[in-house]
Structure 1
Amino acid sequence: MVTVDPEALSQVLGAIDLRVGVGRREHLNENSLLALAPGDAVLVYVAEGAVRGIPPLDSGCRLDVDRESHRVEVDARTSPATLRTGDAFLTLGDGAVALEAQEATSLIVVALELAAPAPAVSAALPGYITVTGFDVLEPAAAALVESMGPVAPSSRPARQSDPLICRLMATTVLLSVIRAWAENGCAPEGWPHVSKDPFLDRVIEAIHEAPGREWTVERLAGVGAMSRSAFAERFRSTVGRSPADYVTEVRIDAAKRMLEAGRSVSETSRELGYASDEGFSRAFRRRTGMNPSAWRRLPVPA
């Protein structure tokens, strides 16, 4: 079984920031198809029944989970030809795929939209992953995703907070799927590589280790042993954004976790290197659409 570095896994999970996460329930008759278009990131949970992929889901590995002992065995050679009740499937939209029902099937389908490109995710994960026995490995997350696809639309008016709650629920389930895939032996050897560039990996690791440091382009270039101009161009072309933008993203991700843990806005602002609470609040609001104090009061899904 491949052992994943917990810190590296935290970096990947911490880079995920959803703008939208909306679930729906799809009922398929035997041999019916659910098409997932390229470019669409989608999480699918098999609530009941069975589906197979077209093309076959032959990426990753199979987790054989004993539902009584919870013992997990890994077969790294093959993915499951069929996903059954309690299994989960994630595609980042790299290509078109369809799911064909093998019998009467109920699926929870969660449409995902990342708030910004996440190079740590796209560089580290395959185009799609499967987690067999997800309901056993992550029972709380499985129960949560079941509630995201109501059988019938509610007749009550949508409340203002509903999109936010849906996004938090979808984030929790998505992180649980990736964690279950990685921690139970399905990640490839050496996973994850955030940038697939050893010099930039060193820079990205330094940012995550000390997000509150005064990270100028010159200082980051020095960590990567490159000139300022060469570093800036290489970082943008590889990671997909400027070094300053990436530093801000890592800081805001860290701020979310600190605020959820009960840290004050001022304490979080100082620790993450902001000159004032006002500057921190503006940066946080631009990334999340909320003030830090409002985020701090949000209930955190179990």
Structure 2
Amino acid sequence: MVTVDSEALSQVLGAIDLRVGVGRRERLDAGGLLPLAPGDATLVYVAEGAVRGIPPLDSGCRLDIDRDSHRVEVDGPKGSAVLHRGDAFLTLGRGPVALVSDEATTLIVVALELADLTPALRSALPDYITVTGFDVLEPAAAALAENMGPVVPSEHPKRQGDPLICRLMATTVLLSVIRSWAENGCAPEGWPHVSKDPFLDRVVEAIHQAPGREWTVERLAGVGAMSRSAFAERFRSAIGRSPADYVTEVRIDAAKRMLEAGRSVSETSRELGYSSDEGFSRAFRRRTGVNPSAWRRLPVPA
């Protein structure tokens, strides 16, 4: 488990520039479907009922809380990725996601725009953040979530519809979700010490701008105006992973978006710098659990 410095975490969360939409209530009958379009970051709080995800929401690091003992478990049992009342879910919109209700369900849904995230911070956040028992870990934030979105429009319409108040509430809930996820064992190595180093920021930006370039350690060190040995150690300390692993992660994230847009496997492989489709497919499957062709066939919500 990664130990998170609370002061550093507060600085990271305080630096996130949020543009938050007004929360809305989505009521689903049993078997109802709520698509979340790729490209849109979305915060979801389960006010009533239960939902599961397509694809399953147990990928990545999942935080589970026993409601009786308040014991926190990281990476709970696979196949348990059904969200119940009091659970929270955040998707950064890197791929298509749909929520399917197992029973009559009420969801609080907030559209987000995470503006001006540094590339390092954007990479540090996973595709999904899932916190079961969010109402146990963060009861005050959960109470805010319960009251986002008009319940009865005729009652207190001005207060419920005040955009400033709604956005402040949504921002509080969002940051509480990220904080509980990070502080209870799901933070990646190096979190929250994402780079505030202008030389490393230059390197990270270069990778994101041209993920298909042949990025050797020497070339990356040159972008950061450092020696090879100093760069590799400094990068791992600040970002929490090796330069090569970071390049692969950025490439696979780009590949997901290209495949979802209808690009072929071969075209995607070539543009992202892979010498063969087979090598690209192996790298993609290691990161996502499916091959690129299967990813292209995943339904994209309208």
What is the TM-score when the length of structure 1 is the normalising length?
A: 0.60
In structure 2, the gaps of 5 or more residues are 205-223, 227-302
Residues 160 and 110 of structure 1: is their aligned pair in 2 closer, same or farther, counting only changes over 3 Å? closer
Give the secondary-structure state (helix, strand or coil) at the position aligned to 2:30.
coil
The one-character-per-residue Cα deviations of 1:191-225 (angstroms, maximum 9, x if unpaired) are 34535989426999xxxxxxxxxxxxxxxxxxx76
Task: Indicate if the aligned counterparts of 2:22 and 2:110 stay in contact, CA closer than 8 A.
Answer: yes
Alignment partner, residue 67 of structure 1? 67
Contact 1:25 1:149 in 2 (8 A): yes
1:168 aligned to 2:165?
no
Q: Are 1:86 and 2:86 an aligned pair? A: yes
SS of 2:22's equivalent? strand
* Aligned equivalents of 1:46, 1:87: Cα separation in 2: 6
- In the superposition, relative to structure 1, how do residues 16 and 156 fare at CA in structure 2: closer, same or farther (>3 Å)? same
Contact 1:9/1:192 (CA < 8 Å) preserved in 2? yes
Match of 1:267 in 2: none
Check the 8 A contact 1:31/1:103 in 2, yes or no. yes
Q: Check whether the contact 1:64–1:133 (CA below 8 A) recurs between aligned residues.
A: yes
What does residue 188 of structure 1 align with? Answer: 188
Do residues 26 (structure 1) and 26 (structure 2) align? yes
Which residue type is aligned with residue 101 of structure 2?
A: A
Would the alpha carbon gap of residues 16 and 80 (structure 1) be closer, same or farther in structure 2, given more than 3 Å must change?
farther
Report the counterpart of residue 150 of structure 1 in structure 2: 150
Deviation at 1:55, TM superposition (A): 0.9
Q: Structure 1 residues 202, 79: CA separation in 2 closer, same or farther (over 3 Å shift)? A: farther
CA positional deviation for 1:174: 0.5
The aligned residue for residue 49 of structure 1 is 49
The amino acid of 1:22's aligned partner reads V
AA of the residue aligned to 1:29: D
AA paired with 2:51? V
- For normalisation by structure 2, the TM-score amounts to 0.60
Distance of aligned partners of 1:156 and 1:142 in 2 relative to their CA distance in 1, 3 Å threshold: closer
Deviations for 1:51-96, whole angstroms, at most 9, x for unmatched residues?
1110111323333323233222323674742111111000111111
Cα distance between partner residues in 1 of 2:29 and 2:5: 42
Amino acid at match of 2:68: E
Contact preservation (8 Å) 2:120, 2:201? no
The 3-state SS of whatever aligns with 1:4 is coil
Say if 1:51 and 1:19 are closer, same or farther in 2 by CA, change over 3 A.
same
Pair 190,165 (structure 1): closer, same or farther in 2 beyond 3 Å: same
Which residue does the alignment assign to 1:208? Answer: none
In 2 relative to 1, CA 128–188 (structure 1 residues): closer, same or farther, beyond 3 Å? same
* Structure 1 position 13 matched with structure 2 position 29: no
Q: CA deviation at 1:31?
A: 1.1
Decide whether aligned partners of structure 1 residues 165 and 119 sit closer, same or farther in structure 2, where only a CA change above 3 A counts.
farther
CA change 1:3–1:163 in 2 (3 A) is same
Gaps of 5+ in 1: 205-223, 227-302
Q: Deviations over 1:4-28 (max 9, x none)?
A: 2334422321222223331011111
Q: Report if aligned partners of 2:64, 2:131 keep a CA contact under 8 Å in 1.
A: no
Quote the Cα distance in structure 2 between the aligned partners of 1:96 and 1:203.
29
The answer for the alignment partner of 2:110 in structure 1 is 110
How much has 1:188 moved relative to structure 2?
A: 2.4
Give me the CA root mean square deviation: 3.1
The whole-number CA distance in structure 1 between the counterparts of 2:49 and 2:140 is 20
In structure 2, what is the equivalent of residue 269 of structure 1?
Answer: none
Structure 1 residues 81 and 115: CA distance shift in structure 2, 3 A? closer
Letter in 1 for 2:128: Y
- Contact between 2:124 and 2:188, CA under 8 Å: does it hold in 1? no
Number of aligned residue pairs: 207
